[in-house]
């Protein structure tokens, strides 16, 4: 999600928007890779050693591509609503396990961490698919709260159709990137006003 450069004009991606926020300059290192899933975070964390200096914050948006991989299965026929709910509960349990591992890995780095929910206002999403995102966002919120990790709720940041790229509607547009960057800046400075270096990483997340 934060790696939206391929889908917007140069200089309007989330990283560029963060670097151009008013006030104290932001030095931003982007370790996100388009298409990443939760298990890919280990490789991204390994790249922390390549940074020229330590980060003040790690801001991670990940998990959406894991859910995206379930969309095909979500179209499978079931005989009852309860059967569908049981399937969703099983997928949620697997997601919870992977998300816990990812979050614990981040926290083990000793740097303040913030996480983002999966946004759900993608124009192409049907009401049913939008509803199925709720159990996965519930995992993100619960696990973050349990570890006292601040949350950037993208469901209330990217609410307009114009917040999503026309070339790939599961990616933020330039407008959406500006909103996300502003929200990250507010979150980081509210938690740590002196923070100057924001490290943004995590998969490309719908």
Please report the pLDDT score of residue 5 as a whole number: 78
Measuring CA to CA, how many Å separate 147 from each of 7, 57, 93, 116?
34, 16, 18, 14
- Owner of token pair 């499978």: 76
What pLDDT, on the 0 to 100 scale, is given for residue 203? 44
For position 24, what pLDDT does the model report?
62
Instruction: Provide the CB-side half-sphere exposure for 119 (13 A, CA).
Output: 28
- Burial readout 29-63 (b: 16 or more C-beta within 10 A, e: otherwise): bbbbebebbbebbeebbeebeeeeeebbbbbbbbb
pLDDT tens, per residue, the chain with 206 residues = 577 877 888 888 888 888 888 876 677 888 877 778 999 988 888 888 888 888 888 999 999 999 999 999 999 999 999 999 999 999 999 999 999 999 999 999 999 999 999 999 999 889 999 999 999 999 999 999 999 999 999 999 999 999 999 888 788 999 999 999 999 988 888 887 565 555 544 443 33
Has this prediction a pTM greater than 0.85?
yes
Rounded CA separation 36/39 (Å): 8
pLDDT at 29: 83
How much is the pLDDT for 25?
A: 61
Measured between its terminal Cα atoms, the distance across the chain in Å is 6
Nearest to 65 by CA among 3, 5, 7, 153: 3
């Amino acid at each position: 999600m934060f790696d939206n450069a391929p889908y917007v004009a140069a200089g309007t991606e989330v990283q560029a928007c963060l670097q151009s926020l008013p006030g104290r300059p932001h030095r931003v290192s982007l370790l996100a890779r388009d298409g990443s899933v939760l298990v890919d975070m280990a490789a991204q964390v390994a790249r922390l050693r390549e940074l020229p200096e330590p980060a003040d914050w790690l801001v991670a948006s990940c998990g959406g591509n894991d859910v995206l991989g379930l969309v095909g299965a979500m179209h499978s026929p079931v005989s009852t609503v309860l059967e569908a709910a049981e399937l969703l509960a099983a997928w949620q349990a697997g997601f919870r396990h992977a998300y816990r591992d990812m979050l614990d890995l981040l926290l083990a780095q000793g740097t303040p961490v913030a996480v983002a929910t999966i946004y759900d206002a993608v124009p192409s999403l049907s009401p049913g698919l939008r509803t199925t995102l709720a159990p996965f966002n519930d995992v993100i919120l619960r696990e973050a709260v349990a570890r006292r990790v601040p949350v950037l709720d993208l469901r209330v940041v990217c609410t307009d159709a114009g917040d999503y790229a026309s070339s790939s509607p599961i990616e933020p547009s330039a407008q959406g990137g500006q909103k996300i960057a502003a929200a990250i800046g507010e979150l980081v400075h509210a938690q740590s006003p002196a923070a100057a270096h924001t490290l943004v990483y995590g998969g490309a997340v719908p």
